[in-house]
Amino acid sequence: MGLTISRLAASAEVHIETVRYYQRRGLLPEPPRPQGGIRRYGASEVARLQFIRPAQAMGFTLDEIAGLLEVRGKRACEQTRKLTEHKLADVRQRIVELQQLEQDLASLVVECGRASEDAECPTLSLLGCAKGAAGKTIPVGARKPGLRKAHD
């Protein structure tokens, strides 16, 4: 095949710097540079790049993808199933957190809609940007990730 790095990147619809980054991370081998020439890439490098993108879209980290690229043999499905089960649990947890965030944001929209023009903004109060009497920003304090009502 003998693709240059730019053609390799184009074939997988990634940037050249992405290819180089994957090489530095060990996800993609870097072929030797011939004396006075340029590196050439083959079908296996294209296939690796085309494997990485959907794996990332499924939420796998580059470290996890590196592990998936190394899985072979009779126990491959067992190994990938365990990793995929872990990823599924992570996704389900994020969904729970996003549902809570959705409820919190919806509540803030309602609270902001009910607030009078001279009242403090519920969203700004929650985020710690409430203005004091002198007009200075008053930090509300450290908060856990996700929104919680100011009066909770």
Report the pLDDT value the prediction gives residue 150, as an integer from 0 to 100: 45
Between CA 120 and CA 104 the distance in angstroms is 18
Is the distance from CB of 28 to CB of 22 less than 8 angstroms?
Answer: yes
Confidence of residue 140 (pLDDT cuts 50, 70, 90): very low
Between CA 53 and CA 6 the distance in angstroms is 17
55-77 pLDDT, tens digit per residue, is 999 999 999 999 898 887 888 89
Calculate the CA dihedral of residues 125, 114, 99, 139 and round it to 10 degrees.
0
The residue among 125 and 18 whose pLDDT is bigger is 18
Give the pTM: 0.65
Between CA 87 and CA 120 the distance in angstroms is 41
The residue among 150 and 125 whose pLDDT is bigger is 125
The residue among 30 and 147 whose pLDDT is bigger is 30
Confidence of residue 106 (pLDDT cuts 50, 70, 90): very high
Between CA 64 and CA 55 the distance in angstroms is 9
Please state, in angstroms and as integers, the Cα–Cα distance from residue 128 to each residue in 104, 105, 124, 140, 142, following that order.
16, 16, 6, 4, 9
**Mean pLDDT (whole number) for 124-138:** 63
Between CA 45 and CA 14 the distance in angstroms is 13
